[in-house]
Amino acid sequence: MRPIRLISFGYLHLPTGPDGSPVPPAADRIEDVRDRLRDPAAARDILDLDGLHPRVQDVVLNTPGARELLANLADLTAGPNRIAIGCAGGKHRAAGLTELLARELRACGRQVDIDHLHVHLPRVLKTADTSTGANA
């Protein structure tokens, strides 16, 4: 069985296509969690951490809707070979969910490769005229 490749990314770091919309990484399935999962960066104690940290993964996992999404993705037994998970900045939600999914898939005997495209980048702050707060 071929390994499944998981990719985390941030929409705000992607190149844009001719129509001006972000171009996500190539994948069989793309999950956009920007509107599906609350931004965990509101939890002040994880602002300087990223989704590779167990504390961030715990916050992401306990976000309403996260467990259901994780179960749905982990249940793709004969499904996609490449799953990309994106949030605004790619630092918290996407990276944390990708790590959690990898753990679930490995527990089911799947071989998993992970690419975190933007987890190493600084938090993306929204501009003052559109909103206050942070994206992650």
**Residues of the chain predicted below pLDDT 70:** 41, 77-78, 125-136
Q: Whole-prediction pTM value?
A: 0.87
The long-range contacts involving 57-63, CB below 8 angstroms and separated by at least 24 positions, are 57/96, 57/99, 57/100, 59/92, 59/96, 60/92, 60/93, 60/96, 60/97, 60/100, 61/96, 61/100, 63/37, 63/38, 63/93
Domain locations in the chain as residue ranges = 4-135
